[in-house]
Amino acid sequence: MRSLATAPDMEAHQLSWKTLKSLWPYLLEFRGRIVVAMLCLIGAKLATVGVPFILKYIVDGLDQDTLQDTAVALPLGLLLAYGTARLATTLFGELRDTVFGRVTERAMRRIGLQVFEHLHALELNFHLNRRTGGLSRDIERGVTGVGFLLRIMVFNIVPTLLELAMVTGILLINYNIGFALITLAAVVAYIIFSVIVTNWRLGFVREANLADSTSNTRAIDSLLNYETVKYFGNERFEAKRYDEDLAHWEQARRKNRLSLFLLNGGQAMIIAVAVTAMTVLAASQVIAGKITLGDFVLINAFTMQLFIPLGFLGFVYRELKSAMTNIERMFKLLEQSPEIVDQPGARTLEVSDGAIEFDDVSFRYQNRRPILHGVSFQVRPHQKVAVVGSSGAGKSTLVKLLFRFYDISGGSIRIDGQDIRHVTQASLRQAIGIVPQDTVLFNTSLFENVRYGRIDASEAEVRQAIRMAHLDQFIDGLPDGADTVVGERGLKLSGGEKQRVAIARTILKRPPILVFDEATSSLDSESERSILEAIREVSRGQTSLVIAHRLSTIVDADIILVMSQGRIVELGTHDALLNRDGTYANLWRIQHRDQAVT
């Protein structure tokens, strides 16, 4: 599978700009708010452009040898207008941001949800190869970057360019052409310099982001395996590896910071030269008597008003490119199509008897590693079929194919005569309940973990499932009872306790087909007996497929399939297979000999 970190820079850059089009639907959801925000924007810009003119008339009104009463009244009114314009600029800007904030927040919510749903839609193979820490960091930066893009693109870049055009036009029409030429030269030089240096800096930004994701992945992976680290006393080793990743991050951040200094310094120098040139030209015009002192103030105010947003535009462009670098990985993820999808017109699976049939099924991982070779068998309604075999024989792969976590390479899998590739994945998985070998729980209460089997179940139904799974006695002995929080991945519970939770979930789900994937392989004898009792109670009268490691747990199976190297080599009841004295009988003798030794 392609790594999200290996996409070429040019491809990622093009991808980021292309994704801007996908933001429009999120904006159009709040058309009314956008109209109000735009009106506030126009009001703010008009007030901003009007401030220097008011200043001009104030200065010209005060620049008199003798101030008469009428002369005093004029500047006083202009001073009030100046204050009103300043207040209007701020209020309109704040109102604009407040109104548009809802649009931005809703877009971030929608995109965050879209990524979350997309991750759940991707196939098992993707999740087996993912790095959770780095992936979560990429998504976090991506969603934040989308919010930044929406705010900046709509209400900062366009208004800034508009203001630049207005100020340049006013200077060109009303004053010496030199002012407009200086402005134009400064803007062109500023933009060219910013684009060149910012594009050069992108490599450092990407390097810093990659180092950040790598270090975060390392930290989360180590903490998730806390017990393993302690077992082998490798705390210093883990700290050293984490510090090496942090050192790469530090180095990348240092290069990023130094390149930012160069960018900011160059931009500041261009602005300083332009402001100085504008001031010198304006002062010479005043001395020559071509413009008034008020005009000098107006030009100076327009100069500040011109280059402050220009400096901000440089910041915006820099942050815009950084934001695109941040979201390019997230949008690359969204472009990754799930390998397992419902066919057009897929029907809902209708289960009447719960019969399962594997017909000449072949499967290989990523078309490279063959796992199953022409496997055929049937599980008749209400029958218990067990699958045994050595490690790597392909037993658990049968379960993954039945759930359609992978698509088979050849043959077909049918439930009550319906090919599972022709039904919806949701209806297929709703019809099957599983007690897996490794039960992973959410970091919430025991009660909520059981209710996860059917999230709309009532409290009474959950309590009943807990009793049927023989989990009630254990829960009653806990200080917080069913409200006990199980810890991340259920680490506060033992293997047997987690298996009981898995059984309670399956009971609550009430599916017509049950699958037990080596549900007792890691349990002690006492826990195994309790779990087996619960399993027998749950599966009575149900169609069930049992993947077993310990042969003693499936002696009552209606049919036992023996697998070896992806093929079924024997089939029959426990007694019949023992009498055949083949692979199954040999496995039985080995396990009994091992048990006798222990």
pLDDT at 561: 95
Determine the residue type at 68: Q
Q: Residue 154 — very low, low, confident or very high, per pLDDT cuts 50/70/90?
A: low
For the stretch 241-286, pLDDT in tens is 889 888 988 888 888 888 888 888 888 898 889 888 888 888 888 8
pLDDT of residue 134: 63
Token readout for 430 is 């709703």
What is the Cα–Cα distance from 213 to 248, expressed in whole angstroms?
A: 11
Radius of gyration over alpha carbons of the chain, in Å? 35
445 phi and psi, to 5 degrees? -75, 160
Domains of the chain (ranges, CATH numbers): 9-335 (1.20.1560.10), 343-431+517-522+556-598 (3.40.50.300)
Q: Average the pLDDT over 303-322 and give the result.
A: 71
pLDDT at residue 61 tops 80: no
Q: Give the pLDDT score at 130.
A: 66
Rounded to whole angstroms, the Cα distance separating 181 from 176 reads 9
Structure confidence at residue 595 (pLDDT): 57
Average pLDDT rounded to a whole number, residues 22-38:
73
Q: Is the pLDDT of residue 1 over 50?
A: no
pTM value?
A: 0.65
Strand partners, 345: none
Other Cβ atoms within 10 Å of 391 Cβ, number:
7
Instruction: Please calculate the CA angle 415-369-521 and round it to the nearest 5 degrees.
Output: 65
Q: Specify burial of residue 369 (Cβ count, 10 A radius: 0-12, 13-18, 19+).
A: exposed
Which of 435, 490, 443 is closest to 465 using CA atoms? 435
pLDDT tens by residue, 436-478: 888 888 888 999 999 988 889 999 999 988 888 888 888 888 8
Query: Can you give the pLDDT at residue 363?
Result: 92
The two structure tokens encoding residue 373: 């070779």
Which of 315-329, 412-426, 556-570 bottoms out in mean pLDDT, i.e. has the lowest? 315-329
Helix (H, G, I), strand (E, B) or coil at 514: strand
More confident of the two residues 9 and 457 = 457
pLDDT of residue 206: 77
pLDDT at position 71 is: 47
* Residues 373 and 438: beta-carbon distance below 8 Å: no
Would strands 384-389 and 559-564 be described as parallel, antiparallel, or unpaired? parallel
Q: 3-class secondary structure for 256-284?
A: HHHHHHHHHHHHHHHHHHHHHHHHHHHHH
Look at residue 573 in the predicted model and tell me its pLDDT: 93
User: When comparing pLDDT for 186 and 520, which is higher?
Assistant: 186
